[in-house]
Amino acid sequence: MPVVRRSPGSPARAPQVGCVLRPRSALGDLPLLPPKRRTRSEGPPLSSPPKRSSDHEDRRSAASEQGATRADRIILFVGSRLLLRVTESGSRLPTPDETRSVIDLDGDGIPDIFVTVRHRAGVDIPAYGIDDGGLEPPEGFRLDGLRVAFHDLSEPDFRAAGTARQRVEWRRTHRFCSRCGAHNRLDPRQEAMVCVSCGQSHFPRVAPAVIVLVQRGPEALLGRSPHFKPGVYSTLAGFVEAGESLEECVHREIHEEVGVRITNLRYFGSQPHPFPNSLMIGFVADWLEGDIRIDRDEIEDARWFRADDLPALPHPMSIARALVDDFVARAGDA
Ligand SMILES: [Zn+2]
């Protein structure tokens, strides 16, 4: 098998796609638990940005790079669509050989963005990004948005694909400095793009969002967005605003969306949410006062549900589902 020789951070060359890719027809994405959207602008630059510990590719050892080239699967994004090998039961990440049957990853056909991402302990896999020139995969392959792939991939595969998507997209959208417009280059010391003219560092952005299960005695508060599949209800979520603590965000979001006040806020856990670059921070809270009063700009329905009478729920891999499963388990213990 040919070896990927490109050193990370080397100048991008024009992607050359194998002839087996064809112009595509329209493919749709399915929405999945989007937290409340807010218009967000580029954050202000830090005058002295703190050093970030990162798994930035230039800091990776040669062994890691070699490990990535020996990986048993590859992540390839064509624009925002992920290359998948069709199987009898759905799809999976393609092997290196399968990927090379679709696109020339070596020589002159090297894609324009290459990163390595952690798949599981001690195992990194390579991820590539090429621009979407209206391409369509050959027989036996699919190009799907991550929200669609979510339903087929294992948790480690989805997690790695989500990480790859964020890092590839960050590289793709930070080729130029947002302060002065000059070119950025990859910082060899940390995961940052640095402007060749003004020196501004641009880091991958992570947008924190809270997600909360509110409990009132034996009932949990669940709502649904118009974007959800029919019948599906989930825990409430929203993006953290500038200058706001996570706790303040939870209180504000719950009151804005459904009009109730909460108390006894407890941290539950967190989950990266690559749609496109969120970190979901989960909480459990108790209802304090107020009747449900829905903000119809955000959600279309919200209700109290008992553990033995739940609606359709989000995907088992989501933190929203973990919050509901935890509520059900606690109800069973009561
Ligand atoms: Zn600049």
Distance 201 CA to ligand 1 centre (A): 8
Q: What is the pLDDT of residues 228-265, one digit of tens each?
A: 999 999 999 999 999 999 999 999 999 999 999 999 99
Q: How far apart are the CA of 148 and the centre of ligand 1, in A?
A: 37
CA of 40 to the centre of ligand 1 (A): 20
d(CA 78, CA 84): 11
pLDDT digits (tens, 9 = 90+) for 159-193: 999 999 999 999 989 999 999 999 999 998 888 99
Q: How far apart are CA 94 and CA 143, in angstroms?
A: 11
State the Cα–Cα distance between residues 264 and 266, nearest whole angstrom.
6
Please give the distance, rounded to the nearest whole angstrom, from the Cα atom of residue 193 to the centre of ligand 1: 10
CA of 241 to the centre of ligand 1 (A): 26
Centre of ligand 1 from the C-alpha of residue 194, in Å: 8
CA of 44 to the centre of ligand 1 (A): 13
Of 298, 286, 299, 293, which Cα lies nearest the Cα of 327? 286
- The span from the CA of 81 to the CA of 79, in Å, is 6
pTM score: 0.74
What does the pLDDT look like over 271-307, one tens digit per residue? Answer: 998 888 899 999 999 999 999 999 888 899 999 999 9
Which domains are delineated in the chain? 55-173 (3.90.79), 207-333 (3.90.79.10)
pLDDT digits (tens, 9 = 90+) for 126-170: 999 988 777 788 999 999 999 888 888 998 999 999 999 999 999
